Amino acid sequence: MARVIAICNQKGGVGKTTTAVNLSAYLAALGRRVLLIDFDPQANATSALTYERNFPKNIYHGILNHSHYQELVRPSAILNYHFIPSSPDLSGAIIELVNLPEREYYLRKFINELRHHYDYILIDLPPSLSLLTVNGLVAADEVLIPVQAEYYSLEGLSQLLGIIDLINNNLGQRLKVAGAVLTMYDKREKLSREVAKNLRKYFPYKVFETEIPRCVALAEAPSFGKPIILYKPDSTGAMAYEKLAKEIIEQESKII
Ligand SMILES: Nc1ncnc2c1ncn2[C@@H]1O[C@H](COP(=O)(O)OP(=O)(O)OP(=O)(O)O)[C@@H](O)[C@H]1O
Ligand SMILES: [Mg+2]
């Protein structure tokens, strides 16, 4: 049964999509069956995995039009790494869901139909705390929080942890924090080192040992429609995501 991990931070541009796309790739390369659900209307994860655009059906149809998952799941260029595309249609879902009963549970119900096919299901969430994000968190067992090594990054984290508590207390979930991962880290910069130090000191949950370095190849890879493992597997960014994937897998031996 899959571990369902939402990649979440309401701050924009912190490396959620880069983490979702490349962590998924290394989990698959390490022999796991992986599904990445692009749950952001910006559809950045979709375009990072393929040149194809305008999928006739995407995750919007999965949650609101009862499309069967088999119509939505696509193979990526990597064995055992599948994805479900998103599209700007998904932004309409925020409005459509508002008046529906059990509006927080639509993605969860969709994922329950297919979770037995995978070892990991990663959900790439948008930069907001909207009903889409709540659907993503309610659907997940765990949340992984990318934190950019930058001055304002730690602000907003307590708000996110508050939302997780609200979900657990009011929506009957048992969402856990898998951990925070530092992104765009530059160990030569004093500011990066300070942010890392403060995150490790004040964040009440695990902070992954792996720090994702600022790496131009990570920023370039999406324009080739490829994860870093197929674009520049020797880059520092690639090696960091491989290490992060190993840390995620190792967590299983510690779960009792
Ligand atoms: N480690 C890195 N090194 C260099 N560039 C990076 C790195 N991680 C992400 N980027 C670049 O930073 C930008 C933001 O990253 P990304 O899209 O992953 O963030 P995001 O949190 O998903 O953004 P949004 O909130 O808009 O969904 C992108 O242009 C991406 O290519
Ligand atoms: Mg994104």
User: Rg of the chain over CA atoms, in angstroms?
Assistant: 17
Question: Looking at residue 255, what is its pLDDT?
Answer: 59
d(CA 35, CA 4): 9
Of the candidates 25, 1, 22, 193, the one whose C-alpha atom is nearest the C-alpha of residue 113 is 1
Quote the crossing angle between the two packed helices 90-98 and 131-139, to the nearest 10°.
Answer: 90
Kindly give the confidence (pLDDT) of every residue in the chain, 256 residues in length, as a single tens digit, with 9 standing for 90 and above: 899 999 999 999 999 999 999 999 999 999 999 999 999 999 999 999 999 987 999 999 999 988 999 999 999 999 999 999 999 999 999 999 999 999 999 999 999 999 999 999 999 999 999 999 999 999 999 999 999 998 889 988 999 999 999 999 999 999 999 999 999 999 999 999 999 999 999 999 999 999 999 999 999 999 999 999 999 999 999 999 999 999 999 999 875 5
Helix then strand count (H, E) for the chain reads 11, 8
Residue 63, SS3 per DSSP: helix
pLDDT tens column, 116-125: 999 999 999 9
Tell which atom from ligand 1 comes closest to the C-alpha of 44. Answer: 17
Question: Measured from the CB, is residue 183 less than 6 Å from ligand 1?
Answer: yes
For every residue of 9-26, DSSP letters joined together read -SSTTSSHHHHHHHHHHH
Say what the pLDDT of residue 32 is: 98
Q: How far is CA 200 from CA 31, 149, 196, 205, 208, in A?
A: 30, 12, 6, 9, 9
Pocket test for ligand 1, best of 10, 17, 90 (most atoms within 8 A of CB): 17
223 lines ligand 1 (CB under 6 A): no
Q: What does the block give as tokens for 171?
A: 């929506």
Is the shortest distance between the CB of 47 and ligand 1 below 6 Å? Answer: no
Q: Is the CB of 41 under 6 A from ligand 1?
A: no
- Report yes or no: 185 and 196 within 8 Å, Cβ to Cβ: yes
